[in-house]
Amino acid sequence: MSILHALILGIVEGITEFLPISSTGHLILTQKLLGIASDAYTKSFDISIQSGAILAVVVVYWKTLTRDLGIWKKLIVAFVPTATLGLIFYTTVKTFLLGNENVVLWSLALGGTILIVFEWFFANRKPETGSGQTVHEEMRAIPLAKAFAIGVFQAIAIIPGVSRSAATIVGGLGLGISRRTIVEFSFLLAVPTMAAATGLELVKNYHEFSGANLAPLIVGFVATFIVALVAIRFLLKYVKTHTFVAFGVYRIVLVIAWLLLFRA
């Protein structure tokens, strides 16, 4: 993998990690577009550069993450399902799913359809105006049972192309959590989730990042961090006045375009 490839992939990861369009799916398709082989190093690279996105969340939410144990309790409970299934299916996912173009395309299409149907289904529901609480207060008020349920939804995203943010956001909205609150909770939940995924990957495959392989990882990490900062700010503004229908449409259009251009 060249430095330019690493830079491109870092930008893609930074843009897509927190949007409900699947960062892993976009990385896999981008790699195929660039002619990058789906080998052990590439798969480890895809997982490890997520640490750049983790750092972006930590920078944006530093006060919340360092001063509020109440929210950390919710995050830990929500993290349990993903951690459990991630450990159980780690080998299966990395061997058979990660890098699988067909799995990504199906997941993107089905996930996009679900986003659209979900938003249409709830279109006539009275918009949630909150109870006078701030987003921070609403996150602290999420019951542990709902936090665990959000984690179950997030666990579905171990399938490439599903999108961790899409799964948690749709799950949270379905559980009655306000749009802004579940979006920010999804950001925070990314910290233990992706930190664990990156840590596990580095422990198991640290040898992949020695010598010449280290420079692309650093470039990908830095690019991911910078772009993810912008993406977080964008989504926070976007959810104030928009639904996620556009993201659902985008996912479906991407799949159709890919099939027409590269499968026809």
Q: Residue 204 has what pLDDT? A: 75
Q: Residue 108 has what pLDDT? A: 95
- 79-132 tens-digit pLDDT: 999 889 888 887 788 777 777 889 999 999 999 999 999 888 876 555 454 556
* pTM of the full structure: 0.87
Q: Residue 70 has what pLDDT? A: 87
Q: Residue 6 has what pLDDT? A: 93
Q: Which of 243, 71, 44 is nearest to 142 (CA)?
A: 71
Q: Residue 127 has what pLDDT? A: 45
Q: Residue 94 has what pLDDT? A: 75
Q: How far apart, in whole angstroms, are the C-alpha atoms of residue 23 and residue 46?
A: 9
H-helix segments, the chain = 3-16, 23-34, 40-48, 50-60, 62-67, 69-92, 101-121, 135-140, 144-155, 164-174, 179-205, 214-238, 245-262
Q: Residue 129 has what pLDDT? A: 45
Reading the block at residue 181, the tokens are 């609150």
Q: Maximum CA pair distance of the chain?
A: 57
* Residue 128, Ramachandran bin (φ over 0: left; ψ between -120 and 50: alpha; else beta): beta
- 210-233 tens-digit pLDDT: 777 788 989 999 999 999 999 999
Q: Residue 146 has what pLDDT? A: 95
Q: What are the average pLDDT values for consecutive 10-residue runs of the chain, which has 264 residues?
A: 92 93 91 86 84 92 87 93 86 78 93 92 58 80 94 91 91 89 92 84 72 86 95 90 92 95 78
Sign of the dihedral defined by the CA atoms of residues 75, 157, 162, 224, in that order = positive
- CA dist list (Å): 187 to 15, 54, 59, 60, 117: 13, 9, 12, 10, 23
The residue length of the chain stands at 264
Contact 185, 68 (CB under 8 A): no
Reading the block at residue 40, the tokens are 């052990």
